[in-house]
Chain A
Amino acid sequence: MRKDKKMLVIMALALTIAALNTLPVHATETAGPSKTWSYYTYEHGSYVPLSGRMNSTFYNVSTKDYFITNVTFSLSNYNVIKIKDYNNGGDNPGEVADGKNCYFTLDVSSKSDSTDDKVEVTSIASTLPNPKYDIEDDNWDNDPEESEVVALGTVSATSYKMTTYWHDFRTGYSGDSGRINAQFSMSAKGFFDYNNVVQSDVLQASFPFGDYSGRP
């Protein structure tokens, strides 16, 4: 009789554990900062969209916290003409890009308030044509803090989107905070890597994140 009771308790426990495992991972979703840009002229680059927005959503998950940044923008006919001109090489605007085939590039990167990045790029997605993605560790701390998309296809006067998935390892330590920056450029092959030959003189969007994971 006692044995049966014991068995029942074990079975109930096993069933509970199994049921818990099949439950979806609980995630709390928080809308994070959002930043728009709007220019009247092409003073920041003929390839830079006149307007756009970067927003963010933070996920507090029982397994691993993360957040997603989302950059949306529209290219004008003027942008498209200029980007195609850069693509073809030859006589490009300015002097540094002359004779180089340059490609439309968007960088979304994190800038930590300390030397150790606590947010890491894990994935990128976009609607840009024929993209080549680079997930890069620029500051040599073994944590990728830059997501870069280079559009190899022919762009159109339409709206595009790029999202970046960041794994969030912030612990609440002062210095785990930082900023997310978005900036357009035209890139071409340099010595070892594809470099931004011409880059917008300003960040298109930038917002801060705090010290604690799973929240803005």
Chain B
Amino acid sequence: MIKRIKKSNSKIVIVVSVLIMTLMVAGVFSETYAQEPYDSIGQYKKIQSTEAGVNNYIKESRAKNALLSKDKMTKISTTITFSKPLTDQELIAYIKTHHIDAVQIQARALQDETRISVSTIYGEGFDTVSKQQLEKYPNSFFIGYTDIYAKIDYSNIEGIQKDKRTFIIDCSADEYFEGAKEKDGDKRNKHRKGNNRYAHSLTWMLEDLGAMPCKP
């Protein structure tokens, strides 16, 4: 009798587990693909590499940022491209002023005419680490920090946007734009992986257009 109960119990557990897993997978897919799935590189490639194209992209981004502000989203997946390369101290002050949770910072260095792009996880000693690698690039020199991957709160968007050191705040990678509406970005942005977590910065494009000073 006990054996029979145990057997039927284990069957129920298996059926319920399969049901739960099916529902979870279905939930993930319906939530993620309710709209066009995000593609950080595909989106970047669609931007016209002209002054008008960049201005248009800024306009689109601002409209998206306004939606995030209206709905009071926090920990928004953000890529900020600076209007000029920043020094160590300028970057630290910028992050502090705008209460930015910095994740990864990008920097520009030059070796003759060749651009060296450096990307470092933000944390204690980020400045030393960013520069130590340049020892492997003879005769190179550090220009400054050009863009940043970060998490920001809606309440700081306006301040960052008004800062003259900001060229663009690009929040397009946030899953809010695929229908995820949790206020907390850590819960909202749970499907993004790898190179798709943050929008690609406009640094290289701006340098090509002569809008970002590449030389000191």
Give A residues with C-beta under 8 Å from B.
57, 64, 66, 68, 70, 101, 103, 121-136, 144, 148, 150, 152-153, 161, 163, 165, 187, 189, 191-194
Question: Closest Cβ of chain A: how far from B174's Cβ, in Å?
Answer: 15
In angstroms, Cα B136 to Cα A150, docked, is 20
A145 to chain B, nearest CB (A): 13
Q: Are A123 and B133 in contact (CB under 8 A)?
A: yes
**A126/B117 in contact, CB under 8 A:** yes
A-B contact pairs, 5 of them (CB 8 A): A68-B136, A123-B119, A125-B118, A189-B39, A189-B42
Q: Which residues of B contact A133 (CB under 8 A)?
A: 104, 106, 117, 119
- The tally of residues in B whose CB lies under 8 Å from a CB in A reads 37
Bound CA span A132–B45, Å: 12
Residues of the A chain whose Cβ atoms lie less than 8 Å from the Cβ of B3: none
Contact A68–B41 (Cβ < 8 Å) = no
Question: Measured between alpha carbons, how far is A152 from B47 in the docked complex, in Å?
Answer: 13
Given the contacts A127-B115, A132-B40, A152-B41, A193 and B120 also touching, CB distance less than 8 Å? no
Nearest CB of B to A112, in Å: 19
CB neighbors of A among B1-56 (8 A): 32, 37, 39-42, 44-45
From the candidates A135, A192, A193, name the one contacting B119 in the complex (CB within 8 A): A135
The chain B residues found within 8 Å of chain A, CB to CB, are 32, 37, 39-42, 44-45, 104, 106, 109, 111, 114-121, 125, 129-130, 132-134, 136-137, 191-196, 200, 204-205
B116–A152 CB distance below 8 A: no
Whether the Cβ atoms of B194 and A122 lie closer than 8 Å is no
A207 CA to B114 CA in the complex, in Å?
29
Beyond A101-B42, A125-B137, A126-B116, 17 extra complex contacts between A and B, CB < 8 Å: A64-B125, A68-B132, A123-B119, A123-B120, A123-B130, A125-B119, A126-B117, A127-B115, A129-B115, A152-B204, A165-B129, A189-B196, A192-B32, A192-B192, A192-B194, A192-B196, A194-B195
- Residue numbers in A under 8 Å from B130 (CB-CB): 123
CA distance A156 to B200 in the complex (A): 22
Chain B residue with Cβ nearest A192:
B193
* B4 CB to nearest chain A CB (Å): 40
Could you tell me the distance in whole angstroms from the C-beta of B181 to the nearest C-beta in chain A? 19
| A122 lies within 8 A of B117 (CB) | no
